Amino acid sequence: MNMRVGFVVDATCDLPDECLERYGVRILPNVLELGSRTWIDERDPEQTMMLYRRFISDRSVEARVNAASTAEIRDIFLQELVLDYDRVLVISAAAEFSDMHAHATEASYAILQEYRERRDEAERVGSFALRVLDSRSFGAGEGVVLCRALQLLDEAGRGFDKIRLTLRDELDRVRCLFVPGDPWYLRRRGVDGAGGGIGRGDYLLASVAGLKPVVELARGRRRLVARPRGFEAACARVMHEARRAIARGLGTPTLVLSFGGDPRVIRQMDAYQELEAAAIGAHLDLHLAVMSAGAGARLGPGTFSLAWLESL
């Protein structure tokens, strides 16, 4: 009997919907509170763009991003995953930035006694196992981890535990860079929703002098790596770094990009077209997605992000 392996991500994983659907990747929702209204964020493209236009772009709207509760995730596990798969790996946003990892881990323990009865009722033979992996990244970086998992699944002789352990060992090589469209969001809310994504001095330089911060997220930590003048120059700097990584060789043949708005803004940039040409020349997949509403609420509309896996 062939073992059925499935992957689950939370809604902050930035990959195009057609990619997630092609591989049957399940999404754990976030609960997005914008002002007095509450939305379930499941990466629905139309809803995401509506939220950017009507709510996320309004600084006066209070925003909170909450992971689905342990009970809600438990129900998803029991109602769907234990019947559809024999092994499931949940890839979450970094635990430093989201409660999804903690909630999914608690839910995985909660189903240990119940999943057997559920599978017996459906006449599903064989054992079931579910593991939760902290991606130590966010958004596009989380997307890179998922792409690597899918690549490992396609490789002959890779069992479920081998895939999980290989991913775990490679997480420190995931590099994610992002440029805020409006640094106010990064200063007031930040990746974790608690604010302080950049210091007061860097915020003033960005606001007054137009020096846009380029922030690196790696190993679950963030740091400021550059301050080009202007948003397009900052995006070009990030894409230049990606081209250099391509020249060195990547750990997986994929780059993931996301933008807090219409992706055509990025596609029209000369730097993107140069990156696209480099990716085609190196036979790489280039995935450009709309940044999740949850990430956009924290980082702000117009934020650009790019991630890849460094080679050894």
The β-bridge partners of 308 are 175
**Measured between alpha carbons, how far is 43 from 30 in angstroms, rounded to an integer?**
9
% helix, strand, coil for the chain, step of 5: 45, 25, 30
% the chain with pLDDT above 90: 72
Encode pLDDT of 50-104 as tens digits. Answer: 999 999 988 888 989 999 999 999 999 999 899 999 999 999 999 988 999 999 9
**Measured between alpha carbons, how far is 51 from 53 in angstroms, rounded to an integer?**
5
pLDDT attached to residue 156: 64
Query: pTM value?
Result: 0.93
pLDDT attached to residue 195: 66
Those residues with Cβ within 8 angstroms of residue 77's Cβ, 6 or more apart along the chain or in another chain:
88, 107, 108, 111, 115, 130
Confidence band for 182, pLDDT divided at 50, 70 and 90? confident
% the chain with pLDDT above 70: 96
**Measured between alpha carbons, how far is 45 from 27 in angstroms, rounded to an integer?**
14
Any idea which residue has 């909660």 for tokens?
A: 110
Residues in the chain: 312
Whether pLDDT at 175 is above 60: yes
SS3 168: helix
Kindly report which listed range (16-20, 62-66, 122-126, 290-294) carries the lowest average pLDDT score: 122-126
**Tokens encoding 205:** 């330089």
SS3 211: strand
